[in-house]
Amino acid sequence: MTNQSIDNQSIIATSRCDSDVSKPLMPRYDSRQAPSEYSVVSLFSGCGGMDLGFQGDFSIFGQHYAKNPFRITWANEINAAACNTYRRNIDKNIHHGDIQDYLATLPSTADVIIGGFPCQDISINGKGLGINGKRSSLYTSMIESIALVKPKVFVAENVKGLLLQSRKASFDKIMEDFGSLGYQVSYALYHAADYGVPQSRERVFIVGTANGISAFQPPKPERTKEKWMTAAEAIADLELLEVDESINHVWSAANASHDQGNRRLDANRPGFTIRAECHGNIQFHYSLPRRISMREAARIQSFPDNFIFASKLRETERQVGNAVPPILAWHIAQAVKDCLTIKTL
Which residues are catalytic, by number?
119
For residues 71 and 38, the answer to whether their CB atoms sit within 8 Å is: yes
Amino acid letter, 205: F
Half-sphere exposure of 281 (CA within 13 A, CB side): 12
> Could you give the CA distance from residue 338 to residue 291 in angstroms, rounded to a whole number?
41
Distance CA 101, CA 144 (A): 12
The span from the CA of 292 to the CA of 38, in Å, is: 38
Q: Return all residues near 273 (Cβ < 8 A) that are at least 6 apart.
A: 199, 200, 201
- Residue 309: how many CB atoms within 10 A of its CB? 27
